[in-house]
Structure 1
Amino acid sequence: MIEAAMIWNEPNNKSHWDPEVDPHWRLFAEMAILAAQAIERAEPAITRVLGGISPIDPGFMTRMKSAGVLDRVDAVAVHGFPLDWNLWQIDEWPQRIDEIRAVTDLPLWVSEVGVSTFGAEAVQDWGLKRTAELLAGRVPRIQWYSLYDLPRAWGATTRHREAEGSSYYRHFYMGLLREDGTPKPALETFSRLTPGFGLVQWFHFEDHRLDEAVAWMKRLGVTHLRTGLSWADSFRPGALDWFDRQMAALADFDVTVTFCFTPEHRGYLPHHTSPPLWPEEFAAFCGAMIERYGRRGTVIDLPARTAA
């Protein structure tokens, strides 16, 4: 079921990793190495991927190389949103890819790329077509973010807030489908790019969209999907039931699962971006999930939870 495991999400983005607690990413590097080792022990055949970086920063990748992280993974990944958040233009995609390739010979994935419809839906359609022109054939994996718009009632997983204007609101309009499930113009364009293009779709805990999303992805010809299993969610009542349901629903796809989000009571600070107090706990979670949902499919219990 799981073909690849991604270790964290955008570790060089303060919306996902706190740089004040870990300004030199030493704690992150230690955690990532332990997680990669746990994943390899659980199932050596699964591809281990360093969490997609955003912004695309060869300096950060060099830091990870120096810390030994790249010795423990099989691929690295980048995320790019030049029409929404990045400080570079969409035609610079080849240059950004080359900057990372100058640092590492590992396979490079574009594990998250997208365009919001905050300004106009036609912009997303044009951006998808141009992204395909620029990236197709350059990288072995391209995953479009995302299938659904983020429901406005849920809030975005970011440190940006309403005071930052469109930077925050753009998060809610990244889908090929509107919040009510109706298609945007780019959906038809995307259907012509599969299976070469995959999708990214994060499912919230007990997400009501799961079954409908599966139906849409099959209709669109999607074969590879990137999603997440939240370490923080693993402490919720009924977590394993939800994880089992989510992963069973995705069994027909080649799944890249992203492991991330620190439980509030397991971090240096009570926030999902905090480095964990004990990185071995995150590694144990990764290993347990691979043993449960990897190709071997051996169901085991989550590791014992240590009292706060």
Structure 2
Amino acid sequence: MIEAAMIWNEPNNKSHWDPEIDPEWEKFGHMANLAADAIAAANPDVTKVLGGMSPIDPSFLNKMKGYGVLDRVDAVAVHGFPLDWNLWQIDEWPAKIDEIRAVTDLPIWVSEVGVSTFGAEEVQLWGLKRTAELIKGRSRRIQWYSLYDLPSAWGATTRHREAEGSSYYRHFYMGLLREDGSPKPALEEFAKHTPEMGLVQWFHFEDHRLDDAVAWMKRLGVTYLRTGLSWADSFRPNALDWFDRQMQALEDFDVTVTFCFTPEHRGIEPHHTSAPQVPEEFAEFCKEMIERYAPRQSLNETLVMSGQSGSRMR
């Protein structure tokens, strides 16, 4: 079931939102407000989450507060990768969360945290243990990135790709499972922290790993998952067939679904990082996905699920 809808992924990261088009994130703030209102109209019971910040930046969150976004969402999310991409040390995790607590009273979700095996698989094992020590109990949601390594034949969704040097190639080594599905040393350690820790797993369009991923997550004791439904993918042939299959396969988990990625033909610039020409179209996509995969329950359905139907009907 869908428990939460996340509005965009790392909007303050130039790999996912174009700073030249929107240097003060004003266009993003307007789009986020439209999306949050649309999600709430489709189902007010779905938790609305502001897409995970990367870098963790209180000044960005203050801008979102000024644009009214924090009045419309139920939680804010942060992403942190101090052993791979961030310019701070892993022991600073509590301080980084506190920086955001100083800006908002909303719940803070760590919706992506991980360690690559780019240099050595033992680094990921140590990093997972230390991350759990530092974050567990400090965040309502902790979602480890990720279950699978990114296949080497696929491209990572970044703005400058190979020009980013080793930063780009680290994207391919973030999994607890190697590309061939074999376990890395950190997999057994991760299982010690479920169900308190969940996973992030992005599924590509018609991803061949979907069924195996579901089996692995159940084996590991995972109960909640973050994934995405791509606005850009929604224009592909048979997109709804794939979305239906993906969401049906994940129905046994509490799913945070991330809505993001601009279709090239709908952006101000033809790129997935671009602000859309018509932000209402992104909001409409969010609304349609919630209506399809997390429809508002009728009063009778709500009463039945809460066990109150008998007393109310008499």
TM-score range, shorter chain: over 0.9
Give how far 1:58 is off: 0.3
Give the gaps of 5 or more residues in structure 2.
299-314
The 1-side partners of 2:163 and 2:266 are apart by 30
Give how far 1:164 is off: 3.1
Give how far 1:166 is off: 1.2
The 2-side partners of 1:242 and 1:49 are apart by 24
The answer to whether structure 1 residue 143 and structure 2 residue 146 are counterparts is: no
* SS of corresponding position for 1:70: helix
With structure 2 as the length reference, what TM-score do the two structures score? Answer: 0.94
Which residue is equivalent to 1:12?
12
* One-letter code aligned to 1:239: A
The 2-side partners of 1:163 and 1:65 are apart by 34
The answer to whether structure 1 residue 155 and structure 2 residue 155 are counterparts is: yes
Structure number with greater Rg is: 2
Q: How many residues align?
A: 298
Give how far 1:295 is off: 5.2
Higher helix share: 2
The answer to whether structure 1 residue 175 and structure 2 residue 180 are counterparts is: no
With structure 1 as the length reference, what TM-score do the two structures score? Answer: 0.95
* SS of corresponding position for 1:63: helix
Paired-residue identity, %: 82
Higher deviation after alignment, 36-45 or 160-169:
160-169
* SS of corresponding position for 1:227: strand
The 2-side partners of 1:79 and 1:297 are apart by 32
* SS of corresponding position for 1:56: coil
The answer to whether structure 1 residue 294 and structure 2 residue 300 are counterparts is: no
The 1-side partners of 2:170 and 2:160 are apart by 10
After superposition, the Cα gap between the structure-2 partners of 1:165 and 1:192, relative to the gap in structure 1 and judged at 3 Å, is same
The 2-side partners of 1:293 and 1:80 are apart by 29
Which residue is equivalent to 2:219?
219
| CA RMSD across the alignment | 1.0
* One-letter code aligned to 2:153: A
The answer to whether structure 1 residue 23 and structure 2 residue 29 are counterparts is: no
The answer to whether structure 1 residue 36 and structure 2 residue 24 are counterparts is: no
The answer to whether structure 1 residue 93 and structure 2 residue 93 are counterparts is: yes
Give how far 1:297 is off: 7.9
After superposition, the Cα gap between the structure-2 partners of 1:160 and 1:130, relative to the gap in structure 1 and judged at 3 Å, is farther
Match runs of 1:209-288 below 5 Å: 209-288=209-288
Match runs of 1:44-193 below 5 Å: 44-193=44-193
* One-letter code aligned to 1:101: R
For the 8 Å contact 1:143–1:226, the answer to whether it is kept is: yes
The 2-side partners of 1:297 and 1:22 are apart by 38
Give how far 1:296 is off: 4.1
* SS of corresponding position for 2:259: strand
The 2-side partners of 1:67 and 1:159 are apart by 26
After superposition, the Cα gap between the structure-2 partners of 1:297 and 1:16, relative to the gap in structure 1 and judged at 3 Å, is farther
The 2-side partners of 1:160 and 1:175 are apart by 22
For the 8 Å contact 1:4–1:48, the answer to whether it is kept is: yes
Give the gaps of 5 or more residues in structure 1.
299-308
